[in-house]
Amino acid sequence: MMRIRLQSFIGATLMFGVFSSAHAEGVTGSVRLMTLDPGHFHAALVQKLMYQGVDPLVHVYAPQGDDVIEHMKRIEGFNTRKEQPTHWRTELYTGPDYLQRMLREGDGNVVVISGNNAQKAQYILKSMQAGLNVLADKPMAITPADLDEIEQAFAIAEKNGTLLYDIMTERFEITSILQRELSRQPDLFGTLLEGTPADPAIRKESVHHFSKVVAGSPLKRPQWFFDVRQQGEGLVDVTTHLVDLVQWQAFPEQTLQPSDAKVLSARRTRTPLTLEQFTKVTGATAFPDFLQPDVQNGVLNVYANGEFTYRLRDVHALVSVKWAFEAPPGGGDTHFSVMRGSKATLTIQQGAAQQFKPVLYIERASNVSAAAHEAAVTAAIASLQSDYPGVGVRPDGDRWAVTVPDKYNVGHEAHFAQVTENFLKYLRSGQLPAWEVPNMLTKYATIMQAYQLSRAP
């Protein structure tokens, strides 16, 4: 085992800064962070900035291995960069009893969990049982058994007055925000259509890549990331963001229940990876034993892709996730989203035509005159100026493209700080919005329905 105190070495700090023991009266003292078994780069991304009221000393508890080493390298990179360097300090404990040590003597009131998802639900439940607050990266559950533990964890949080929350960064992406805001403008959008299973009213499609650059450096992924028994399938991973957006946009600030969602169809497919590709992103020169069941003819096949159609109350939606090895030149992860209203359709596209940057389009419904539509667009954009000054529109063929000042396009990595700042407000007040917890449970229950249906004979 190893217990060391790092200040400017490879791990000058640990990740994040967001939650704390939030009882009914809220947190008034310092937020003291503990990071548990960081294995995903999201654990470090939240620590790209410092936060007021968050102690710069972070305690990290982890097993020995590459995961924690890579995490500490990222934190050191944030501390030593030229622009806006952070000043995190880290006390690191590594040993086989890292979890027990944290629960027994951890000097913190918030646990940040982002890593191997096979153990995440158990980590969350044990942390809640210890009276801690938890900020967990998605997904909190990758199997129905995990969902059972998450439900227990939320019940304990309610009893103890502590907070359990997952990191939904996509709510802070500007085109998703504007799509939501414009869908709430009845003169422009009308009412959200119900759609059908074959023609859903809402579509959310996301494309991700195994090989990518994070915080300016090529991302080294852990080998277990390619084992769906540890990472989770695409059907239960990135879909967490998409289902969250469906709920957040279609039923804003409304409390949903698992019984509101019915999955109608679901399927999963594999992404093939050669050994050369696997080596490029992990550094390993051979597939490990735990991946051998997924290797055929020298190619690793990962159930990274998933799609399902479901009905949320009366609205039909489709969510789809695909993983490729790497993006085309100049590209990156992409998001496609459609919301169909009785007067207009709101579409986000992020392909080559958009230079791989998300652009929101407004399209007129056939039952609305061009003049009435243009007047509604003008009024709707004007109504956004108080909260989003500078947002505008320009003609794009027979539709309108929403123009967004660069100051709003902060990038995916910056959204982690926005999530953090937002939750710190909840932490100080001592509670989440009333709809957040039931909607988190609804989200994961919906995804587990899809998981089970994708395996049905």
Which DSSP helix (H) or strand (E) runs through 242? Answer: helix 239-250
Query: pLDDT tens digits for 393-429?
Result: 999 999 999 999 999 988 888 888 889 888 888 888 8
Rounded CA-CA distance 5/13 in Å is 10
Q: Which CATH number do you get for residue 113?
A: 3.40.50.720
Residues belonging to the chain: 457
Rg (CA), the chain: 22
Q: Write down the pLDDT at residue 332.
A: 82
> 432 in a domain, yes or no?
no
Q: Burial of 298 by CB count in 10 Å (0-12 exposed, 13-18 middle, 19+ buried)?
A: exposed
Give residue-wise pLDDT tens across range 247-274: 999 999 999 999 999 999 999 999 999 9
Same domain, 103 and 74: yes
Q: Are 239 and 339 within one domain?
A: yes
Which residues have CB under 8 Å from 127's CB, separation 6+? Answer: 36, 103, 111, 113, 134
Per-residue pLDDT of 9-19, as tens digits, reads 333 332 323 33
For residues 209 and 293, what is the distance between their CA atoms, to the nearest angstrom? 22
Residue at a domain's end among 148, 167, 186: 167
C-beta separation of 124 from 134 below 8 A: yes
Place of tokens 């790497």: 326
Exposed / middle / buried, residue 285 (Cβ in 10 Å: 0-12, 13-18, 19+): exposed
Compute how many other C-beta atoms are within 10 angstroms of the C-beta atom of residue 379.
12
pLDDT one-digit tens code per residue, 293-331: 999 999 999 999 999 999 999 999 999 999 999 988 888
Cα separation, 35 vs 51, in Å, equals: 16
In a domain, 135, yes or no: yes
For 114-160, how does the pLDDT look when each residue is reduced to its tens digit (9 = 90+)? 999 999 999 999 999 999 999 999 999 999 999 999 999 999 999 99
Strands 133-136 vs 110-113: parallel, antiparallel or unpaired: parallel
124-138: b or e for each residue (b if 16 or more CB lie within 10 Å)?
bbbbbebebbbbbbb
| 178, 215: one domain | yes
What is the band of 218 on the pLDDT scale with cuts at 50, 70, 90? confident
Instruction: Return left, alpha or beta for 297; rule: phi > 0 is left, psi -120 to 50 is alpha, else beta.
Output: left
Rounded distance between C-alpha atoms, residue 440 and residue 164, angstroms: 10
Is residue 191 situated within a structural domain? yes
What DSSP line would sit under 414-438, residue for residue?
A: HHHHHHHHHHHHHHHHT---TTHHH
* Judgement on whether residues 146 and 224 belong to the same structural domain of the protein: no
For residues 88 and 75, give the distance between their C-alpha atoms in angstroms, rounded to a whole number.
8
Distance CA 395, CA 397 (A): 6
Q: How far apart are CA 135 and CA 112, in angstroms?
A: 5
CA angle in degrees (0–180, nearest 5) for 74-217-228: 75
Of 17-21, 110-114, 309-313, 353-357, the one with minimum mean pLDDT is 17-21
Same domain, 247 and 354: yes
User: Which residue, of 109, 143, 167, is where some domain finishes?
Assistant: 167
CATH code (residue 196) = 3.30.360.10
> Does any domain span residue 220?
yes
Return the DSSP state at 360: E
Name the residue with tokens 């503990």.
34
* Boundary (domain end) residue, out of 112, 136, 167: 167
**What kind and span of H or E run contains 291?**
none
pLDDT higher than 90, residue 185: yes
The verdict on 10 and 87 lying in the same domain is: yes
What is the residue whose two structure tokens read 């918030």? 110
Average pLDDT on 61-67 reads 95
Indicate if 56 and 150 belong to the same structural domain. Answer: yes
Q: Are residues 295 and 347 in the same domain?
A: yes
Assess whether 159 and 176 both reside in one domain.
no
3-state DSSP assignment of residue 48: helix
| Other C-beta atoms lying within 10 Å of the C-beta of residue 394 | 8
Work out the average pLDDT over 231-258. Answer: 97
Domain that includes residue 109, residue range: 2-167
Lowest-confidence range among 5-19, 44-58, 341-355?
5-19
CA distance from start to end of the chain: 47
Kindly state whether residues 149 and 201 are assigned to the same domain: no
Read off the pLDDT band of 111 (50, 70, 90).
very high
Q: Virtual CA dihedral for 144, 148, 149, 153, nearest 10 degrees?
A: 130
